[in-house]
Amino acid sequence: MNRKDECNNLAVATAFANVLKATVASPAAMDVRDCEGVTLLLHVGVGGITFDGTNYLELQLTASFDGGSTYEAVPDADVEGVTIGDSSGTIASFKTEHAAAENIKIGYLGHGTHLKIKPVFTGTHETGTLLACAVIKTLPKLRPVA
C-alpha cells in the first residue's frame, strides 16, 4: 500500500527557533484559526545551569479568544500529553538537573484563535538553555496548505 500525502494537509509554524535563552522574552503569537488540530513540539536542551527549587525554568502556554488582543492561561482540559497543575498554564517545569535534551509533544484541544508559549526563568541563569518550539497545524479548513 502506498503512503498517503500529508504535506498538503499540515502547516508548520515556528514559535521560536533553536535559541539559547537565559531570560524571558515576549513570545510570538501563533495564529491557529485556519486549522482544527494543533500540536506543539517543544525541544528543551541540556540545562545551562543545574536547575533546582531556586533556579528553574517553566514553559507557560496561553491562548487568545479575541483574535490575539488578550491572552489567558490554558487550562488542563485544553491540552493532551502534559498536565497543567495550576492556573499559570505551565506545561513544563524544570526544577531538577536536566542532563539530557528532551522533546515534549503537546496537543491543544481548546478553541483559542492564537497561542503563545513563554519560557519563564526564575533565579540566576548565567548560562542559557537551548529551546525550540514548532507548531504543527493539521486538519486545515482550506486545502491544500501552502
Q: Where are the domains of the chain?
A: 11-140
The CA angle 73-145-36, to the nearest 5 degrees, is 35
Return mean pLDDT, the chain.
88
pLDDT tens, position by position, 21-54: 667 677 889 999 999 999 999 999 888 888 899 9
CA angle 42, 96, 115 (to 5 degrees): 25
pLDDT one-digit tens code per residue, 130-140: 889 999 999 88
CB 137 within 8 A of CB 38: yes
The 3-state DSSP class for residue 30 equals strand
The CATH number of the domain covering residues in 11-140: 2.60.120
91 or 16, higher pLDDT: 91
